[in-house]
Amino acid sequence: MLMDTTGRELLAAFSSTDPTPGGGSASALASAVGASLLMMVACLAKTRSGSDDDRRALADASAALTTIRDQLAGAVDSDTAAYDRVVAAYKLPKASPEEQLARKSAVQTALKAATDVPLGVMRLSAAAMDLATVVAAHGHRAASSDVGVAAGLLQAGAAGARLNVEINLEGIADQPYVEDARNGALALSGTIERAATAIAASLGAPF
C-alpha cells in the first residue's frame, strides 16, 4: 500500500517508470495533504478571536476533515488499483467473438471504476474546500498562509482528478454515464473555485 510507505519511498514510486502510481494518485495525495494542513490550523490553541464560537466551528471542521483526509488517503491506493484493473481488462484475450464481448464489457466496467475514484476525489476536495472557508474565517491569522497552501493543494488535487475523469470518459461508451460524470465534474470545479474566492477574501490575500 502506497500510504504505508515512507515519504522517500512514495516519491520513488511516483518517479519510477511504472505507470502506477500516476496522476490520479498524486491528485488524491495533494488533496489529502491539503486537508491535513487545515486540520493542523483548526487544532491550534489560538483562534481568530479566541471566542467560543471560533473553537466550536474549528472543532467541528477538524472532525469532518479527519474523515475526508482518511478517505482521500485511501483514494491514493484506490486510484492505482483502478488503473491496474483497466490495464488487466485490456490484456484479456480477444480471439473469439465471445472473448471479444467479455473483454469489451470488462474494459467498460474498469473504466467506469477508474472514473469513479477521481470523481470521488473531486467531491472530497470540494467538501474540504467548504471546510477551508470555516478554518479561514475562524483560524488564527498567523496560520493564514497554511490555509492558503491547503486551499491551493485542494484546488490542484481536484484539477488533477478532473483530468483523469475526462481522459477515462473518452473510452466509455455509456453516454448517460459520461454526461452525468462530466456535468458532475464541472459542477464540483465551480464549487471549488467559488470557495477559493471566498477563502482568498477571508485571508485578505490571493493564493
**Side chain identity at residue 84, one-letter code:** D
Angle at 75 between CA 130 and CA 63, to 5 degrees: 40
Q: Which residues is 47 bridged to in the sheet?
A: 139
Per-residue pLDDT at 206: 60
The three grid cell numbers given for residue 1, joined into one nine-digit string: 500500500
Dihedral sign from CA coordinates of 141, 143, 146, 150: negative
Per-residue pLDDT at 1: 87
CA torsion, ordered 135, 136, 140, 146, to nearest 10 deg: 90
204: left (phi > 0), else alpha (psi -120 to 50), else beta? left
Give SS3 for 47: strand
Per-residue pLDDT at 126: 98
Q: 13 and 21 in contact (C-beta within 8 Å)?
A: yes
- CATH code of the domain made up of 23-203: 1.20.120.680
152: left (phi > 0), else alpha (psi -120 to 50), else beta? alpha
Closest CA to 114 of 25, 189, 29, 42: 25
Q: Which residues is 139 bridged to in the sheet?
A: 47
Considering all CA atoms of the chain, what is the largest pairwise distance in Å, rounded to the nearest integer? Answer: 71
For 48-196, where are the E strands, in sequence order?
none
Per-residue pLDDT at 201: 86
Per-residue pLDDT at 148: 95
pLDDT in tens, the chain (207 residues): 889 999 999 999 999 999 999 999 999 999 999 999 999 999 999 999 999 999 999 999 999 999 999 999 999 999 999 999 999 999 999 999 999 999 999 999 999 999 999 999 999 999 999 999 999 999 999 999 999 999 999 999 999 999 999 999 999 999 999 999 999 999 999 999 999 999 988 887 665
Per-residue pLDDT at 205: 64
Non-local (6+) Cβ contacts of 23 within 8 A are 160, 163, 164
Residue ranges per domain, the chain?
A: 23-203
Q: 113 and 172 in contact (C-beta within 8 Å)?
A: no
Per-residue pLDDT at 197: 92
